[in-house]
Amino acid sequence: MKSNKVVLIRHGQSIWNELNKFTGWYDATLSENGKNEAKSAAILLKKNKFSFDYAYTSVLKRAIYTLRYILDELNQNWILVKKSWCLNERHYGALEGLNKDEVIKKYGEKQVLLWRRSFNIIPPKIDIQDKRFPGNDLRYSNLNISDIPLGESLEMTSKRVIPYWKTVIYPQLKNNKKILIVAHGNSLRALIQYLNNITNKDIIKLNIPTAVPIVLEFNQNNSLIQWYYLK
């Protein structure tokens, strides 16, 4: 039985990933290693004969550039690409820009794991006077200020990712379109949790590596059958 497939990819390593910093909505560019990771992901997709009708990404350039490298390698730069803040990484609030090891030393490994991987624990928030507040960024100028996060849990991230999946992406899947989504560790975790009914307790175990294609297979009724990393 033929199945429909959606491919998810977390962006390649960014400069802040390389520096072991909490990145969140900070617009870090790809590191050299990240560029190579994106190209390797594209080569793997090409080897497995993947092609796409639509691509979706966030408004953060580490995801946008990863997608560009992939489409360039696949010679599919011409396909329709939609960008949305709904696919952004979770906002790490006051942790954004801090070194993860230093935060662990200050707060303890258990607390930091909860901030990073749990479903409903929110990291310390910033306020709107903070230079890290996204409301100062032109790309979010069309949003209501109340919709711009000061810090997010995975649960809060899900509340923007899942509606975007349901209203924008899923209808294309139902139309048998081949879809590529290049986003971030937590926006993709939110989507995988939703599609697989992963419990809030078990989601803490899921960590998505950079630039490794994840294949979601759906049956003819557009229900998820399985998901796996492409090798």
Picking from 24, 27, 14, 56, the residue whose alpha carbon sits closest to that of residue 156 is: 24
**Which residue in the list 37, 89, 96, 152 is annotated as catalytic?**
89
Q: Name the residue range of residue 163's domain.
A: 4-229
Percent of the chain with pLDDT strictly greater than 70: 99
CATH of the domain at 147: 3.40.50.1240
pLDDT of residue 1: 54
pLDDT tens column, 21-64: 999 999 999 999 999 999 999 999 999 999 999 999 999 999 99
How many domains is the chain partitioned into structurally?
1
pLDDT at residue 110 is higher than 60? yes
- The annotation status of 142 as a binding-site residue, yes or no, is no
pLDDT tens column, 145-172: 999 999 999 999 999 999 999 999 999 9
- Give residues with Cβ within 8 angstroms of 19, minimum separation 6: 99
Picking from 192, 197, 183, 199, the residue whose alpha carbon sits closest to that of residue 227 is: 192
- The annotation status of 186 as a binding-site residue, yes or no, is yes
CA angle 127, 154, 13 (to 5 degrees): 90
pTM as predicted: 0.96
Both tokens of 146, joined, read 């109340």
Query: Binning pLDDT at 50, 70 and 90, where does residue 3 land?
Result: confident
- The annotation status of 91 as a binding-site residue, yes or no, is yes
Average pLDDT score over the chain: 96
Q: C-alpha 190: how far from its chain's center?
A: 9
Q: Is 73 a catalytic residue?
A: no
